[in-house]
Amino acid sequence: MQDSSTAWSRFRGGLAGLAALGVAAAAAGCGDTSAAVPATRPATPAAQVARWTPIVHVRRPLDLAGPRSDGSLLLAAAGRLFVLGPGGAVHPFASGPAGYRSPGGEEPYIALAPPVATQRSCGFQAGTVYALRLTNGRGVVAISQSSGVRRLARLNAPGLIDGIAFDGTGRFAHRLLVTINAGSKTTVDAIDCRGRVTAITRTAPRVEGGIAVAPASFGRFAGDLIAPGETSGRIFAVTPAGQSLLVADSGLPHGNDIGVESEGFVPSGSPDALVSDRLTPGNPHPGDDVVLSIGAGALRAAGVRQGDLLVATEGGALTDAIRCTRLGCRVRLVAKGPAVAHIEGHITFARP
């Protein structure tokens, strides 16, 4: 996500077209492999491919989280937090003297504690926002409207802290999960509600961006942490035991500032999808400082259903839907964005 590359390379080499590319999903962790699980890639008729379109302009949008109990979303932009309400209304969140301001770093992503985020000894407070702290004391901070900012945990693993998500299934004991990239390997840390940090693995493949925990409906990867590999184009799962598995090859362009960066699982209730498009001058995909959206109807027309994983490329917002069962996964191109789009953070969902 630092220096740009405009190469459109493929896992098997050559650009044969998205519809023609076959992919395979196989377990692949720490050099071990297991029997291949087939992943199909049926073509999506061009008329059914959805489009990401701008809904609101905001300075340097980075990430979205939610929805909150009132249906609004939290938006991280320009080092601050905002509430994104119906109709695109934007209001400051935790902006007072004791409020939140990122101390620096390009991508301090955020996660919102879900309504149920408890552990045996304590609980994450529903509605509290958790943000990566990338400089001046690396770790995670908790932010609430009423009590301001407090440090949750320090992170000591070397590398770039680049992913954050809550475990809503319980397979990771309802902890907060963070990824830290160092070269070709990634550390996955789990943080409990008292700030205690446990390493799940230090040898996951290189991943970054809008990570998420798979729901129970996501086949053999149910409850695993799902993370995109921007430079490889592959989607990986990390199990609670620390094993790394290959979910599928996205079949999308990959490389720095190009490949799969953002993801989110489609919830129930026919929601719209939203993602941040950040202005990044001098980049081949310079972005436009907007929040992009796809309406629920367009998602349905493209064949997207509850439980699907949406993954979008940082460059141009090319978007796959991945659906997994115990027998394998299906990968389909379902949406495209403006060619200039520079996508960051999570794909988030809200009712229209």
Query: What tens digit of pLDDT does each residue of 154-164 get?
Result: 999 999 999 99
- pLDDT interval class at 114 (50, 70, 90): confident
Domain hosting 297: range is 23-350
List beta partners, residue 276. 291, 344
With b for 16 or more beta-carbon neighbours within 10 A and e for fewer, the 143-164 pattern comes to bbbeeebeebbebebebbbbbb
Q: Find the helix or strand (DSSP H, E) in which 299 lies.
A: helix 296-301
Q: How many CB atoms lie within 10 A of CB 54?
A: 16
Query: Which residues neighbour 41 within 8 Å (Cβ) at sequence distance 6 or greater?
Result: 18, 19, 21, 22, 23, 251, 330, 331, 332
Tell me, yes or no, whether 11 lies in a domain: no
Look at residue 16 in the predicted model and tell me its pLDDT: 31
Q: How many CB atoms lie within 10 A of CB 215?
A: 18
Tell me, yes or no, whether 153 lies in a domain: yes
Look at residue 120 in the predicted model and tell me its pLDDT: 52
Please state which of the ranges 40-44, 61-65, 207-211, 264-268 shows the lowest mean pLDDT.
40-44
Residues 331-344 pLDDT 10s: 999 999 999 999 99
Using a pLDDT cut of 90, give the percent of the chain over it.
74
- Enter the pTM of the model: 0.87
CATH assignment at residue 44: 2.120.10.30
Q: How many domains does the chain have?
A: 1
List beta partners, residue 228. 235
Tell me, yes or no, whether 6 lies in a domain: no
Tell me, yes or no, whether 17 lies in a domain: no
Please state which of the ranges 122-136, 219-233, 284-298 shows the lowest mean pLDDT.
122-136
Tell me, yes or no, whether 10 lies in a domain: no
Tell me, yes or no, whether 13 lies in a domain: no
Average pLDDT over the chain reads 87
Tell me, yes or no, whether 310 lies in a domain: yes
Look at residue 86 in the predicted model and tell me its pLDDT: 82
- pLDDT interval class at 40 (50, 70, 90): low
Look at residue 22 in the predicted model and tell me its pLDDT: 33
Does the structure show a pLDDT above 80 at 231?
yes
Tell me, yes or no, whether 174 lies in a domain: yes
